[in-house]
Chain A
């Protein structure tokens, strides 16, 4: 490189070695020129070299920054990146996640040893495969070989996904991903699926489940008796082994996995005994005793119970019978009852038993409400005590009570949403943190009382008065003479709510009215009591005994008491029909009288209906013309009727009203064979003639603002 300079130096050394120091000017000039040139070049080289150093430093710095950035990206990638050469020795550079997944100080360590510290086979397989990959030329085959490596390992209780990549001729990169969460989730989903399969298996064949459960319980309880000491060990062992194996198969079939798993484990132990040969009957019974066989089903049963409800286990030994079949039996018994009145009590008992089998108790019908209250409490951020409906276990719920029972949801909602105060208010008022809600059923044989109470804020009577005025439900004068209790009962009036905000739960002023309507449909009564700061209690009184009592009455079917049992629900229904449905005011309470006169005077329009079956009685309703016209107007929605059609209309209204009232008052789906109601008819006379002398007839006068009506019940 420096050949020119070297030549110069050599040249001048030669001159100097001549010892005569005779250097001419020309030579000196050449020397100087050469020196200058060298100096210039040196100078330039130094300058450029310095520039290059600066640039190099800049480059290296920016490279450092880039490296840092890349590293930071990799470190925060939630994936581990590392590389190694053919010998599996991990390189210096690896991302932070690798430390988390594989441990500290990875550089220089053998990747295979870290990944499979205790699994020699996998360890060797990995190393050999990687080496083979490097030796292979064909990239396709390389890929195939890599794909054969296990892509998932469990290390330090973590599931790690391992991806191998070839980065250069002698280098592998590994990407590690922590998939523990995914695996746990997958496991959970799988468990849920297994549980679902178990439930489906159990539900689709409950008898098989019950039988297997009982068999296994009996096996677990009597396991020692399965070992016959008089028989050789091998015979006993085979016997037990077979039993266990069969149970395992059966439990697997209905997917009771935990139980099946335990049985499998025992089976394995038993097969060890089988192989060992030097055991005795004592060892066998010891093994059975040590295994807590009677607890093996617990987990599976707990899950089944949790999902299907504890009642599921109680359904065992129960029979499903078609409703029609029951009705047919009832029909036959009723026919017998008519022809054979001597054994009426026996028939009554049988009918009542059949009924019990078919229905649910009032208590059961209400049993979903405590949970509902808890749910509402959760939504409304309140806390209430757990409670159970008390009483009413022996009162069969008539089917037609269903809408009424459903309507009670409004009372329970109100109790939690409006009644129970929030935690802070309760504490300020020295109340327990948890609100108290209760529901009690009283059985009075002829009627039941359902009392729903809360220990909440109570109803603000003054505010209620204001609301009632505002809604136009009462006027100031009426309010003045109303008792507190009467005011409170305004909450059942349509369109009145004491709650300002209309929430999804309550406050529209409709709910309470729904309860009232349903109660009245059943000829029941309702009453609310409330004390500010102490709580509210709603009592619902519902007649329930018509059915049962009619059977009693039938025993003395010519007794006058028949009249009263028909009368009471009918009159209840008449008054609620006039007041609630028609919106008429009553001038006074209904007047009840009895008469034995053979002829009873009637009003202008009269219709009657005949009830037969268990009882033989007729009901007759007789209307003042003005009242009937008002009813006509209501039922005809205000449409005027042509004069020539008026008579016909009046007659049909009188029949219609009678039909509605009797239908509603005596309607009972169970009664269809016991009570038969004819179509209504018109009486065109102005008096009624009874069947015989001394026949007692109930005579009730109901006085409305538009005139009177008579209700007559008896035999005529």
Chain B
């Protein structure tokens, strides 16, 4: 499966989902003009990837400095998908990476982590 690579812009994060290494990362700021359109390929890729995925451990790294409300919706949908996969017995670890000085980023991570049940959701200081 191809690697999903989207280069960062001023308002959108860098996406690097690698099916070979099983490391999926989203890094940067997220307030694209059209959030649905931006994340559409992400969801599509995830769908296929998770279907094909077997025993390997998957690491998802999220390091988002700023994101708007529609991006948080997209993020939560990603969490849902990962949570469902995890329910299905997939081995997925999610690292929410935040900067030591950025208290808000930690808080958002904590908020998101609250409703996660089966998925491993780590809050990782950078």
- CB within 8 Å of B: which residues of A? 1-4, 37, 40-41, 44-45, 47-49, 51-52, 55
Q: Can you report 17 A-B residue pairs in the complex whose CB atoms are below 8 A from each other?
A: A1-B35, A1-B39, A1-B73, A2-B73, A4-B77, A40-B115, A44-B112, A45-B69, A45-B72, A45-B76, A47-B111, A48-B111, A49-B69, A49-B72, A51-B104, A51-B111, A55-B104
Q: Which residue of B lies closest to A2 (CB)?
A: B73
Q: How far is the CB of B1 from chain A (nearest CB, A)?
A: 23
The residues in B between 28 and 70 inclusive whose CB is less than 8 angstroms from any CB of A are: 35-36, 39, 69-70
Give the chain A neighbours of B104 by CB distance below 8 A: 51-52, 55
Q: Which residue of B lies closest to A4 (CB)?
A: B77
Q: How far is the CB of A212 from chain B (nearest CB, A)?
A: 78
CB pair B107 A37 closer than 8 Å: no
User: Which 5 A-B pairs have CB atoms at the shortest separation, nearest pair first?
Assistant: A1-B36, A55-B104, A41-B76, A49-B69, A48-B72
Q: Which residue of A lies closest to B114 (CB)?
A: A44
CA distance A147 to B108 in the complex (A): 52
Give the chain A neighbours of B77 by CB distance below 8 A: 4
Give the chain B neighbours of A45 by CB distance below 8 A: 69, 72-73, 76
Give the chain A neighbours of B108 by CB distance below 8 A: 48, 51
**A1-B35, A1-B36, A3-B36 known; A44+B70 contact, CB < 8 A:** no
CA distance A3 to B77 in the complex (A): 11
CA distance A122 to B72 in the complex (A): 57
Q: How large is the interface on B (under 10, 10 to 19, 20 to 34, 35 or more residues)?
A: 10 to 19
Pick from B39, B74, B107, B115: contact of A44, CB under 8 Å: B115
Give the chain A neighbours of B72 by CB distance below 8 A: 44-45, 48-49
B87 contacts the other chain (Cβ, under 8 Å)? no
Given A1-B36, A55-B104: 12 more A-B contacts, CB < 8 Å: A1-B70, A1-B73, A2-B73, A3-B36, A4-B77, A44-B72, A44-B76, A44-B112, A45-B73, A45-B76, A48-B111, A51-B107
CA distance A47 to B74 in the complex (A): 15
B80 contacts the other chain (Cβ, under 8 Å)? yes
Pick from A2, A37, A44, A55: contact of B111, CB under 8 Å: A44
CB pair A1 B74 closer than 8 Å: yes
Q: Which residue of A lies closest to B66 (CB)?
A: A52
CB pair B80 A37 closer than 8 Å: yes
Q: Which residue of B lies closest to A59 (CB)?
A: B104
CB pair B69 A41 closer than 8 Å: no
CA distance A3 to B73 in the complex (A): 11
Q: Which residue of B lies closest to A58 (CB)?
A: B104
Give the chain B neighbours of A40 by CB distance below 8 A: 115
Q: How far is the CB of A3 from chain B (nearest CB, A)?
A: 7
Give the chain A neighbours of B70 by CB distance below 8 A: 1
Q: How far is the CB of B112 from chain A (nearest CB, A)?
A: 7
CA distance A4 to B43 in the complex (A): 12
Q: How far is the CB of A45 from chain B (nearest CB, A)?
A: 5
Give the chain A neighbours of B112 by CB distance below 8 A: 44
Give the chain A neighbours of B111 by CB distance below 8 A: 44, 47-48, 51
Give the chain A neighbours of B36 by CB distance below 8 A: 1, 3
Give the chain A neighbours of B39 by CB distance below 8 A: 1
Give the chain B neighbours of A49 by CB distance below 8 A: 69, 72
CA distance A82 to B118 in the complex (A): 58
CA distance A72 to B94 in the complex (A): 46
Q: Which residue of B lies closest to A47 (CB)?
A: B111
CA distance A41 to B77 in the complex (A): 9
Q: How far is the CB of A30 from chain B (nearest CB, A)?
A: 15
Give the chain B neighbours of A2 by CB distance below 8 A: 73
Q: How far is the CB of A658 from chain B (nearest CB, A)?
A: 105
Q: How far is the CB of A694 from chain B (nearest CB, A)?
A: 128
CA distance A1 to B31 in the complex (A): 13
Q: Which residue of A lies closest to B112 (CB)?
A: A44
Q: How far is the CB of B22 from chain A (nearest CB, A)?
A: 26
CA distance A710 to B111 in the complex (A): 130
CA distance A377 to B104 in the complex (A): 77
The residues in B between 63 and 113 inclusive whose CB is less than 8 angstroms from any CB of A are: 69-70, 72-74, 76-77, 80, 104, 107-108, 111-112
Q: Which residue of A lies closest to B70 (CB)?
A: A1
CB pair A41 B107 closer than 8 Å: no
CA distance A49 to B80 in the complex (A): 19
CA distance A37 to B76 in the complex (A): 10
CA distance A510 to B77 in the complex (A): 107
Q: Which residue of A lies closest to B80 (CB)?
A: A37
Q: Mark B1-44, 1 if CB is under 8 A from A, else 0.
A: 00000000000000000000000000000000001100100000
Q: How far is the CB of B35 from chain A (nearest CB, A)?
A: 6
CA distance A51 to B77 in the complex (A): 20
Q: Which residue of A lies closest to B103 (CB)?
A: A55
Give the chain A neighbours of B35 by CB distance below 8 A: 1
Give the chain A neighbours of B69 by CB distance below 8 A: 45, 48-49
Q: Which residue of B lies closest to A51 (CB)?
A: B107
Give the chain B neighbours of A48 by CB distance below 8 A: 69, 72, 108, 111
Give the chain B neighbours of A55 by CB distance below 8 A: 104
Q: Which residue of A lies closest to B34 (CB)?
A: A1
CA distance A49 to B35 in the complex (A): 16
CA distance A4 to B104 in the complex (A): 29
Q: How far is the CB of A112 from chain B (nearest CB, A)?
A: 34
CA distance A2 to B115 in the complex (A): 19
Give the chain A neighbours of B115 by CB distance below 8 A: 40, 44
